[in-house]
Amino acid sequence: MSTPGISFAGKISPAKAGDPAREAQVERLSCDVCIVGAGAAGLSAAHAAATSGASVIVLDAFPRPGGQYYMQPPAEASASISGNPQVTAGATLIAEAERAGVRILSGREVWGVFPGGDLAGGRVPGRGVPAADFAEGVAGSNGFTLHAAGEDGAVRVTARSIIVATGAHDRVVPFPGWTLPGVMTPGAGQRLAKLSGTPPGRRTLIAGSGAFLLPVAASILKAGGQLAAVLEANDRPLAAAAIVARNPLIWREFARLAWPLWRARVPWYRGGMVVAALGDDRVRAAVIAPLDGRGTPDLTRTFEIGDIDALLVGYGFRPHIELTAAVGCAHDFDEAAGGWHCRVDPATAATTVPGVYAAGETGGIAGARPARLSGRIAGLAAAESLGFSDTSPERRRLVARRRGPAAFATALNRHFAPPRGLAAAITDDTVMCRCEDVTAGEVRAALADGADDAFGSKLWTRAGMGLCQGRVCGFGLASLIAADRDLDPEEVGFNTPRLPLRPVKLSTMQAALKE
């Protein structure tokens, strides 16, 4: 049945004639405020809403709450992992939220959000209905139904309001060899090192741009890994130093992270980017090209960094907007906020859809401190709008406190904007869509046949149609097409996510949608 060596994502159970399908269990819950994401923003929002008197459920995809910044290693972890101040602060935040009555459901990924709190969204006629009768609201004040499933079971939560605090993911643009095992995002390296105490490899090269490369490097050293080098695309260290110098709040953290790198004599290169990863069955070396003043790699002056078994490449972060896009919130593009992000009212964290709030990176990349503050604002405002305590004076103070660190983050994002020429390294045999194994040559051929955009080339090549639904390749495809068409990547926009937001078993879907 199966093809040797090639993994299918699903298993067919043998069934005899007349056997009904195996039924799944879906727990049904309800609350005032349902929060998606148990990171810095989500936990702060949960604690704030619960202390205002609201009943709160938090859904989180990971086995343990904490998100990326407040990542919680397992209880059995060694003191060297669990002893750091971020872990301690995260543990406090989780404990406070739970003490306030918050129910955190880990290991549950949201696969659907629908307006209407009564049941699964109400029965509406399907195929036979003419478009003129189209009357589905994208959202409403009647609340929401959230469907989530994962390692720890399936749930269906009805909530009066929702707060989306789904964080961000690394921004990656394909280059030859980026699918080799050992080539990962800095975020992946950070999770391996901080959560499991495992460096991503014996000897790692970290490359890309942004302040995040520094903590990743520090974590890898702490987990016992060696660093071949850190390669920062940006070539204006004095400007970066000036931004840091203006923000005394982060001096101590900066020193804590930079010290071990300095002590380990890790080479720190500037003004170049990885244009290829080399290796047969895993990464062995990286090819680096210097960047010119316009951010384009000079492919005639490359050099190699060898003897590596891990290569982390990422150019900052993109907000996770699948959920807010799925419920119809308005989004804006701003390079200094990580690109497309959910539009939020700073005073309340409300989105353009009534009853939907967005906290943390979903509303624009700003880092952990602003995320905590915006989470608290969202939690207080969501509870207040449901009739719980008036917290407007506190929210005003929080908005004022958030201004400084948010401006710092914006300045850093702007400084570390990805080089314009990232797509220049893409060759015709570079894989663009990892899920469906689609190369740049195939995408370019579709463009030459008349497909004119990401959607058109997706239909003809399957690029973006696979398991990740374009989350990983979306920005790379946009960059490739923009380069081909002489457009700006932002003009290519983003695809509206469709049901399900994550793959979900047929049996779970069936049980979840039962009246």
Partner 1 sequence: MSTALPKTADVVIVGGGIVGAATAQALARAGLKPLVLEKGAFGGAVSGASLACISTHMMDLEELKLLAWTRARWAELDAEIGGFEYNRCGQLRFIAREADVAVAEGWIAAERAAGLTPELLDPAAVREVEPALTGPILAASWSALDAVVNPFLAVRALLADAQHYGATVRAHTPVAGVRTEGHRVTGVTTPAGTVDTPHVVLAAGPWAARLAAPLGVILPMLPRKAQCLATVRVPPVIRRVVGACESAGGVEAGYTQIQQAREGQVLFNTVLAGGTAQAGGADKDNGTGAPAAVTPPPVVPPVDLAFVRDSVETLLWLFPGLADIEVLRSWVRYEAVTPDSRFVAGPAGPEGLWIAAGDNGTGFVRSPAIGRLVTDGILGKTPPFDAALYRADRFATAAAA
Partner 2 sequence: MSAIVITVDGDRLEARAGMTVAAALIAADRPVLRRSPRAGAPRGVHCGMGHCFECLVTIDGTPGRRACLVEVRDGMAVETGR
Choose from partner 1, partner 2, none: what does 127 bind? Cβ within 5-8 Å by kind: partner 1
Please give the backbone phi and psi of residue 476, each rounded to the nearest 5 degrees, phi first: -65, -45
By CB under 8 A, tell whether 153 contacts partner 1.
no
Do 308 and 282 form a contact (C-beta atoms < 8 A)? no
By CB under 8 A, tell whether 179 contacts partner 2.
yes
Stretch 118-147: interaction string toward partner 1, x if CB under 8 A: --xxxxxxxxxxxxxxx-x-x---------
Q: Taking the CA of residue 258 as centre, how many other CA atoms within 13 Å lie in the half-sphere pointing to its CB?
A: 10
Residue in 37, 201, 295, 405 binding partner 2, rule: CB under 8 A: 201
Work out how close the CB of 188 gets to partner 2 at its nearest, in angstroms, rounded to a whole number. Answer: 3
Choose from partner 2, partner 1, none: what does 261 bind? Cβ within 5-8 Å by kind: none
Beta bridge partners of 147: 112, 156
By CB under 8 A, tell whether 238 contacts partner 2.
no
Cα gap 66→62, rounded to integer Å: 9
Choose from partner 2, partner 1, none: what does 405 bind? Cβ within 5-8 Å by kind: none
Work out how close the CB of 496 gets to partner 1 at its nearest, in angstroms, rounded to a whole number. Answer: 8
Nearest CA to 303 out of 205, 411, 164, 402 is that of 205
Q: Is 207 helix (H, G, I), strand (E, B) or coil?
A: strand
Residue in 77, 91, 119, 482 binding partner 2, rule: CB under 8 A: 77
Stretch 56-75: interaction string toward partner 2, x if CB under 8 A: -----xxx----x----xxx
By CB under 8 A, tell whether 90 contacts partner 2.
no
By CB under 8 A, tell whether 498 contacts partner 1.
yes
Stretch 357-376: interaction string toward partner 2, x if CB under 8 A: --------------------
Segment near partner 1 (CB under 8 A); pick from 46-54, 246-254, 391-399, 507-515: 507-515
330: number of Cβ within 10 Å: 12
By CB under 8 A, tell whether 13 contacts partner 2.
no
Beta-carbon contacts of residue 162 (< 8 Å; ≥ 6 apart): 33, 34, 35, 36, 113, 144, 146, 327, 355, 356, 357
By CB under 8 A, tell whether 14 contacts partner 1.
yes
Work out how close the CB of 139 gets to partner 1 at its nearest, in angstroms, rounded to a whole number. Answer: 12
Nearest CA to 320 out of 472, 458, 436, 152 is that of 472
Residue 299 tokens read as: 């492919």
By CB under 8 A, tell whether 5 contacts partner 1.
no
Cα gap 225→462, rounded to integer Å: 38
Please give the backbone phi and psi of residue 200, each rounded to the nearest 5 degrees, phi first: -65, -15
The DSSP-derived string for 153-206 is: -EEEEEEEEEEE---EEE-----TTTTSTTEE-HHHHHHHHHHHS--SSSEEEE
Which string of b and e fits 222-231 if b means at least 16 CB within 10 Å?
Answer: bbebbbbbbb
Stretch 378-417: interaction string toward partner 1, x if CB under 8 A: ----------------------------------------
- Residues that contact partner 1, how many (by CB under 8 A): 68
By CB under 8 A, tell whether 10 contacts partner 1.
yes
By CB under 8 A, tell whether 237 contacts partner 1.
no
- Residues that contact partner 2, how many (by CB under 8 A): 57
Cα gap 72→83, rounded to integer Å: 11
By CB under 8 A, tell whether 5 contacts partner 2.
yes
Nearest CA to 418 out of 291, 292, 295, 242 is that of 295
H or E stretch covering 111: strand 109-115
Choose from partner 2, partner 1, none: what does 196 bind? Cβ within 5-8 Å by kind: partner 2
Choose from partner 1, partner 2, none: what does 133 bind? Cβ within 5-8 Å by kind: partner 1
Residue 58 tokens read as: 């938090």
By CB under 8 A, tell whether 468 contacts partner 2.
yes
Q: Which residues bind partner 2 (CB under 8 A)?
A: 5-11, 61-63, 68, 73-78, 107, 109, 150-151, 169-170, 179-185, 187-192, 195-198, 200-202, 281-282, 309, 431, 434-437, 466-468, 471-472, 503
